[in-house]
Amino acid sequence: MTNRVEKILGIKKPVIQGAMAFTSLAPLVSAVSNAGGLGVLGVGYMPKDASIVEIEKTKKLTNKPFAVNVIMQEGLVEQADEVLEETQPPVVYADAMRLNDSLCQKYFPIWQKKGMKIIVKASYLKDAITAEKAGANLVIAKGWEGGGHVSFESTMALVPQIVNAISVPIIAAGGIVDGRSGAAAFALGAEGIEMGTAFLVSDELSINSRAKDAIIAAGDMSTVEVSYANDAPFRMIANKLSEQIRKTEATHLKKAAAEKEQGLDADAIRMGMYQGDTENGAIMVGQDLALIKSRKSAKQIIDDVLGDTRKVLDSLNDIEF
């Protein structure tokens, strides 16, 4: 049986690998797409030429659908439009801290006319409605507990609200890492799942081995949100750097703290995730890292989560009350 998410995207398994800036690149994206899911290139903040190189590399590694992350923000979306025009990927994965109505209305029809499908990531109900109005084919409802930039509402609270409000298929994201959270996503009304953090320890993702070890070693209360001062908070593994950032935010006015944090995310992530400095750099993750206990291939991650999701869903009939 093929569900709506699979049909719209032309994929075999209703699993999306979330865009991860500078991190989800051709090897992981093609592995996810070759395994039947949808790989998403984390090129939203990359220079034009580097994005094009990643897209072309991905096309050489898979003939299956994959997506390109576009940040729906003035200054970034114009460049992305040029990249899409030149490379014509099958799917656009649009995201923003808060979606801008007019940018969506302007660009979605242009990309769809070229045959691209549009997935929009919404962390707020209003953004999901904006996305549907602008013609998005699918909406990802991403809760606060997920990796990357953090919003406000949890997956459990957000997904059903979005399911009630719009009619395009919903994919749940934020905190999904095994059969139990996978089954919960479908129970909430989602027709597919997205995972980001789960893929950080995949064999095909080339972050520093020390960063992967730190993810596997982490347990409960291991993550912390930082960078509220510049209105782009993100979640990272708590360490010396996160303590410094939180101290800065607690002892400075917002504007002064924001100045100190200028460019912090990109620099700190490079140091933490690529150079493996797990104390002075940032390892951007979701709360679900506490459940990740081993490295696997991308295909194994997808098959384990989907297989266990099916088992959990099948077992629910036995619950008595």
Q: Which of 20, 29, 41, 237 binds ligand FMN (CB under 6 A)?
A: 20
23 binds ligand FMN (CB under 6 A): yes
Q: Which of 14, 37, 175, 233 binds ligand FMN (CB under 6 A)?
A: 175
Q: Please identify, using beta-carbon distances, which residue of 27 and 175 lies nearer to ligand FMN.
A: 175
Q: Which of 15, 92, 195, 264 binds ligand FMN (CB under 6 A)?
A: 195
Q: Please identify, using beta-carbon distances, which residue of 37 and 319 lies nearer to ligand FMN.
A: 37
Whether 120 and 16 have beta carbons less than 8 Å apart is answered as no
14 binds ligand FMN (CB under 6 A): no
Closest separation in Å from C-beta 162 to ligand FMN: 14
Q: Please identify, using beta-carbon distances, which residue of 69 and 248 lies nearer to ligand FMN.
A: 69
The whole-angstrom separation of Cα 52 and Cα 213 is 31
x-marked contacts with ligand FMN along 124-143 as a string, rule CB under 6 A: ------------------x-
272 binds ligand FMN (CB under 6 A): no
Residues 31-90 within binding reach of ligand FMN (CB under 6 A): 42, 44, 69
Q: Which of 197, 227, 230, 239 binds ligand FMN (CB under 6 A)?
A: 197
Closest separation in Å from C-beta 29 to ligand FMN: 12
Q: Please identify, using beta-carbon distances, which residue of 37 and 175 lies nearer to ligand FMN.
A: 175
Buried b (16+ CB within 10 A) or exposed e, 113-132: eeebbbbbbbbbbebbbbbb
Q: Which of 9, 11, 15, 19 binds ligand FMN (CB under 6 A)?
A: 19
* Residues at the site binding ligand FMN, with contacts judged by CB under 6 A: 18-21, 23, 42, 44, 69, 95, 121, 142, 146-148, 173-176, 194-198, 284-286, 288
